[in-house]
Amino acid sequence: MSVTLRRIRTTFTCICLLVITSVTIILYSTEKLPYLLSSFKACNNRDISTLQSARSQCFSVGFPVPKGVGLGNHLFYYAAVMYVASITGRRPFLLTSGKTLDKAFDLDILREDISKQCPFKPFNHRYIYRYDDSVTYLNKVSPNVTVRLDGYFFSWKYVSPIEDQLRCKLRLRPELTDFVEKFQTSNVPRGWDASTLVRVGVHVRRGDFLSKWAVSIGLTVASKQYLSKAMTYFVERYPLVQFIVASNDIAWCQNNIKPSSFDLERVNVTFSKGHSTEQDFALLAGCDNMIMTTGTYGWWASWLANGTTVYYSKFVRRGYDVWRWSRAADHFLPTWIGMK
């Protein structure tokens, strides 16, 4: 009987232990399991968030800007980045050690070199003053890869597709617009009505384009005959014309652009002297129309002026290196007027 009692007690004890264990498991599950699940979910979310952040960071396109290049080149590099960003859905960045663009514009663009932290796909532009149609293949690059641009993108075909966006972003700094307003007001020719005159910017690129290296690869400078012909184009179309001349060789301009060639009662020539690169650029961009010679500085001043533009059609020398990498129809807007 004692044996039977012991068996009963043992069985009862086992049943009690089983019940207690089951209850403990149930209580643990109801309290701990949600915590474990939430912790697991949180960890997964952190992983996903980290992955998405890394993907977003690498889903970029940028241009490491070479040192020593001017404002016009910087603007084409900027436009190239914005264009490729638009066709690939990437985030744009611009790497430059200088403040060339910042002196003229207040741009909201990342300046960090993302390609140092991310795998990247290099794209080397094949031409200079010409469109490279292989750029369209960049929309096939993996989303986890940064696109790194290099070379020259000196074509309106990268600019016009995003024109509205660029005109919104490329607004001159307030101090430059104030400078232009004061310059225009203080330089109205005597006896003229400022509301009826037409301002035509004239940019004359010389300087470095006369160097042995520039000449050897086929770069050119415009002749005084071209300038006279281009100015005559506007004189014949407007009753009152004020030409505002800016150049990196203003002395040559003063010696070769003669106001006396025109009727001084209806034509005025004003030379911009002693102003910064950005101030001259703002003066040109603030004109109604433009006459450009060679180089990207005059190209962008003409684009921002957004009026009638006359350009020098012999901007490169036929048969030379730059000529082989150029096409006038790709560089100059179709609405611009070419003259020799």
Cross-strand pairs, 244: 201, 270
**Residues 308 and 216: beta-carbon distance below 8 Å:** no
Domains of the chain: 58-163 (no CATH), 172-339 (3.40.50.11350)
Tokens read off for 115: 């390609």
Look at the chain and count its residues.
340
Could you give the 3-state DSSP secondary structure of residue 309?
A: strand
**Closest among 205, 209, 263 to 231, alpha carbons compared:** 263
Dihedral pair phi/psi, residue 155, rounded to 5°: -140, 145
Please state, for a pLDDT cut of 90, what percent of the chain lies above it: 75
Poorest-pLDDT segment among 41-55, 100-114, 264-278, 282-296: 41-55
Instruction: Using DSSP bridges, classify how beta strands 241-247 and 309-312 pair: parallel, antiparallel or unpaired.
Output: unpaired
Rounded to whole angstroms, the Cα distance separating 308 from 323 reads 25
**Residues 244 and 287: beta-carbon distance below 8 Å:** yes
Confidence tier at 66 by pLDDT (50, 70, 90): confident
Could you give the 3-state DSSP secondary structure of residue 188?
A: coil
What is the rounded average pLDDT of the residues 295-305? 98
Each residue of 82-104: pLDDT tens digit?
Answer: 999 999 999 999 887 678 999 99
Poorest-pLDDT segment among 14-23, 63-72, 292-301: 14-23
Higher pLDDT, 7 or 315: 315
Q: According to the model, what pLDDT value does residue 56 have?
A: 72
Each residue of 54-65: pLDDT tens digit?
Answer: 457 899 999 988
Higher pLDDT, 37 or 230: 230
Q: What is the pTM of this model?
A: 0.83
pLDDT exceeds 80 at position 128: yes
Each residue of 230-261: pLDDT tens digit?
Answer: 999 999 999 999 999 999 999 999 999 988 88
Tokens read off for 242: 């004020």
Strand segments (E) across the chain: 60-64, 91-95, 120-124, 146-150, 198-204, 241-247, 267-271, 289-291, 309-312, 337-339
Q: According to the model, what pLDDT value does residue 314 have?
A: 97
**Residues 141 and 88: beta-carbon distance below 8 Å:** yes
Tokens read off for 122: 């290099």
CA separation (Å) from 32 to 36, 46, 201, 240?
6, 21, 76, 86
pLDDT exceeds 50 at position 216: yes
Name the average pLDDT for the chain: 86
Confidence tier at 117 by pLDDT (50, 70, 90): confident
Could you give the 3-state DSSP secondary structure of residue 97?
A: coil
What's CA 318's distance to the chain center, in Å? Answer: 29
Q: What is the rounded (10 degree) CA torsion for 211, 338, 132, 85?
A: 100
What is the rounded average pLDDT of the residues 111-120? 85
